[in-house]
Structure 1
Amino acid sequence: MKIAFYGSSLVSSYWNGAATYYRGIIRQLHKLGHQVTFYEPNVYDRQKHRDICPPEWCRSVVYDGTTEALKEHARKAAKADVVVKTSGVGFEDEALFDEVFAAAHPQSLKIFWDVDAPATLSEMRSHSTHPLHRQIPEVDLVLTYGGGKPVIDGYHAMGARECIPIYNALDPDTHHPVRAENRFTADLSFLGNRLPDREARVEQFFFDAAEQASSQRFILGGSGWGDKAMPSNIRYIGHVPTKDHNAFNVTPKAVLNISRESMAQNGYSPATRVFEAAGAGACLITDSWEGLDMFLKEGEEVLAARDGQEVAEILQSLTDKEAKRIGENGRRRILREHTYAHRAAELDRILKNHLHNNHIEAAE
């Protein structure tokens, strides 16, 4: 089937944490025979920081960040069997939603795909005039990349006909073990952009851990931290392009995952980094959240901490042998149950079922 996908960016991960997620799922959809066109606006200098070329497994269309260009490319949704508008496109999201689904064929499957559902629902609850209050009931299906029952129930309360999580996963072709690189040598690394609902937790789990484990070496990657005061044993390296993620993950003794505040509160929201790190065979330490064992078993396939002190304690007692064991166990689990091939197969069934139902309703 033909899928029109309107999102933030496929070709750039710059200020775009969903890039790996989009690439993994769309690549596998292509293998299942679907034809996907990804439409993205030229905003936030993402095109200046491309980290992949337009791929053979998806048609990539970049349009100017203008209202006229938005409307022009939104009209192309009319040719698709499935039309997807994601959250956080970053340019005129409300207008894009309206234009895309107004242009879609009456029998097409209309999907809003939320890649930050806990935050979106929080905004909707806080603002009675939020545009999604009127828009969500208009689509056939809401997909999210995490959230579990709290998010599903939240979207149903907002008028969604159906809400299904399609969790983050691993693409073993892009994220896998490689040789260590000296530039990423450390005892603990963390990769994440500086965001309002992440910063306090980074201070708690990463900066506090660095202060308490002063003899350990820490590396911080991600955009926006340049003017942030931090302990002297943290080395800040800025934006880390996707091509360097494997080396970034395999070189340190351990890799830290820190959930954003809204995702930690809801649980069942593993970040892309969880699967990237585990897929590379890294020893992963994560902040503790409900639903973790659905993806990795604590103490065997992942290590969990409740605060920075526990991170420091884990790091100081962690041997190289134990770190390797945890990393290998985690990688096996992810490959067995949580690849994008698994997610795409699930999504394929969902799309076909909903399109079938749409056609039956149209015939009646």
Structure 2
Amino acid sequence: MNTPRIPRLRIVILGLSITSSWGNGHATTYRALVRALAQRGHEVLFLERDMPWYAQNRDLPQPPFGRTVLYDDLDALRRTHAQAVGDADLVIVGSFVPEGAAVGDWVLAQASGLKAFYDIDTPVTLGLLRRDEAPYLKARQIAAYDLYLSFTGGPTLRRLEREFGSPAARVLYCSVDPLAYFPEAGERDLDLGYMGTYSADRQPTVERLLAEPARRWPAGRFAVAGPQYPPGLAWPANVLPIAHLPPHAHRAFYNRQRFTLNVTRADMIEAGWSPSVRLFEAAACATPIVSDCWAGIDTLLTPGSELFLVERAEEVLDLLRGLPEARRREVGERARARILAQHTSAHRAAELEAHVHALRSASTSREAVGSAS
């Protein structure tokens, strides 16, 4: 990328987790972003609450990029990291951070630089805010953050500004690290695979678009990878269930599949413009994506050319059994080219820099106007 770079920033990120990807999509997103920011010369400190369920499942206990520090509780955070937060050019608080609302209040009071909220769960957050049940963000805080970074784009950004008073709501989609996700030679021994933590609202779609095709095509080879599936859940005999896969195993899994299934949570479908990180990872591996339908997906990948949108089991089976191999490969390669051109972690780091630059420029202009008057 030939994106102009701004001067070196001191950045502090308080996120759910970067050390453990167990049961969350935050870790891979933060890893890609922090690595790209560090590569672009920025000083990044990631602060993570030391939680037992992540402590028992750390697949990257010491990230080799930026600096990661665990803290025990809110008091320890305030006591140990006040100076780092106070001196930073940019402090980012992420969604689902334990005691995140209290963390946010502290950051808003302590930080002298720009203050941002990074929502990797925006539709879920807005639903919780409607019921005043979000433990990691209060509606009153949105207007106080200089920047609201949302993994959901589209109309949601306008809503954050109009209804909640955000001075700058900007999309910052998930991304992919092209050094970690790429096509590999070898047999694609799975006709269709799916990777995702169990979710009750996603499961009917997984049943319709993967389990049902498996039942109708006993010779087909299918797989579902992810944690927290109910022990008694019965899959067809030709569906291989795989427990949680750590990020270092994702590329190999995508490269086993002829097609991969993308299934979106109900809140994300309703909001639209909410691509999962899995969409970018699969495309970077040139694995053709079979996806459910939602507003905005066509702005990321072109249906029929770079991915396939389906609603019924019959459509899935038509692709698995009837699409010529050359056409399958072509769609996968087109998707890979599109993602590498627009949705890598380097693109996200550059976009974040651009947001910071715009806010600083606006602040400087306001100060100049105030001095002149």
- Provide the TM-score with structure 1 as the length reference: 0.90
Please report how far the alpha carbon of residue 138 of structure 1 lies from its aligned counterpart in structure 2 after TM superposition. Answer: 1.3
For the aligned residues, what is the CA RMSD?
Answer: 2.3
Number of residue pairs matched by the alignment: 358
Alignment of 1:144-159 (within 5 A): 144-159=150-165
Give the one of 208, 212, 219 matched to 2:216.
Answer: 212
Tell me the residue number matched to 1:16. Answer: 24
1:29 aligns with 2:34: no
SS of 2:47's equivalent? strand
SS of 2:219's equivalent? coil
1:140 aligns with 2:132: no
1:280 aligns with 2:285: yes
d(CA) in 1 for partners of 2:24, 2:114: 26
Please report how far the alpha carbon of residue 114 of structure 1 lies from its aligned counterpart in structure 2 after TM superposition. Answer: 0.4
Deviations 1:183-210 (A, max 9, x none): x832111000013443333233333333
Please report how far the alpha carbon of residue 325 of structure 1 lies from its aligned counterpart in structure 2 after TM superposition. Answer: 1.8
Q: 1:265 to 1:307 in 2, by over 3 A?
A: farther
d(CA) in 1 for partners of 2:143, 2:210: 40
Alignment of 1:267-346 (within 5 A): 267-346=272-351
d(CA) in 2 for partners of 1:74, 1:356: 28
Deviations 1:303-349 (A, max 9, x none): 11124442233223234333222111111111122222222212111
SS of 1:187's equivalent? strand
Deviations 1:266-291 (A, max 9, x none): 22111100110110111211112222
Q: 1:202 to 1:97 in 2, by over 3 A?
A: farther
SS of 2:190's equivalent? coil
- Provide the TM-score with structure 2 as the length reference: 0.88
Tell me the residue number matched to 1:238. Answer: 243
1:54 aligns with 2:59: no
1:162 aligns with 2:178: no
Please report how far the alpha carbon of residue 143 of structure 1 lies from its aligned counterpart in structure 2 after TM superposition. Answer: 0.5
Q: 1:57 to 1:359 in 2, by over 3 A?
A: farther
1:98 aligns with 2:102: no
Q: 1:74 to 1:318 in 2, by over 3 A?
A: farther
Please report how far the alpha carbon of residue 148 of structure 1 lies from its aligned counterpart in structure 2 after TM superposition. Answer: 1.6
d(CA) in 1 for partners of 2:52, 2:290: 31
Q: 1:129 to 1:20 in 2, by over 3 A?
A: closer
Unaligned runs of 5+ in 2: 1-8
CA contact 2:125–2:134 (8 Å) conserved in 1: no
CA contact 1:5–1:36 (8 Å) conserved in 2: yes
Tell me the residue number matched to 2:119. Answer: 114
1:200 aligns with 2:204: yes
Q: 1:86 to 1:129 in 2, by over 3 A?
A: closer
d(CA) in 2 for partners of 1:86, 1:223: 23
Q: 1:79 to 1:186 in 2, by over 3 A?
A: same
Please report how far the alpha carbon of residue 32 of structure 1 lies from its aligned counterpart in structure 2 after TM superposition. Answer: 2.2
Tell me the residue number matched to 2:129. Answer: 124
CA contact 2:85–2:111 (8 Å) conserved in 1: yes
Tell me the residue number matched to 1:72. Answer: 79
d(CA) in 2 for partners of 1:206, 1:94: 39
Tell me the residue number matched to 2:12. Answer: 4
Quick check: 261-270 or 243-252, which moved more?
A: 261-270
Q: 1:235 to 1:73 in 2, by over 3 A?
A: farther
CA contact 2:128–2:134 (8 Å) conserved in 1: no
Please report how far the alpha carbon of residue 53 of structure 1 lies from its aligned counterpart in structure 2 after TM superposition. Answer: 4.9
d(CA) in 2 for partners of 1:48, 1:362: 50
Counterpart amino acid of 1:72? R
d(CA) in 1 for partners of 2:238, 2:161: 43
Q: 1:55 to 1:129 in 2, by over 3 A?
A: closer
Tell me the residue number matched to 2:184. Answer: 178
Unaligned runs of 5+ in 1: none
Counterpart amino acid of 2:305? E
Quick check: 349-358 or 243-252, which moved more?
A: 349-358
d(CA) in 2 for partners of 1:193, 1:357: 41
Alignment of 1:348-363 (within 5 A): 348-358=353-363
d(CA) in 1 for partners of 2:12, 2:70: 13
CA contact 1:208–1:309 (8 Å) conserved in 2: no
Counterpart amino acid of 1:51? D
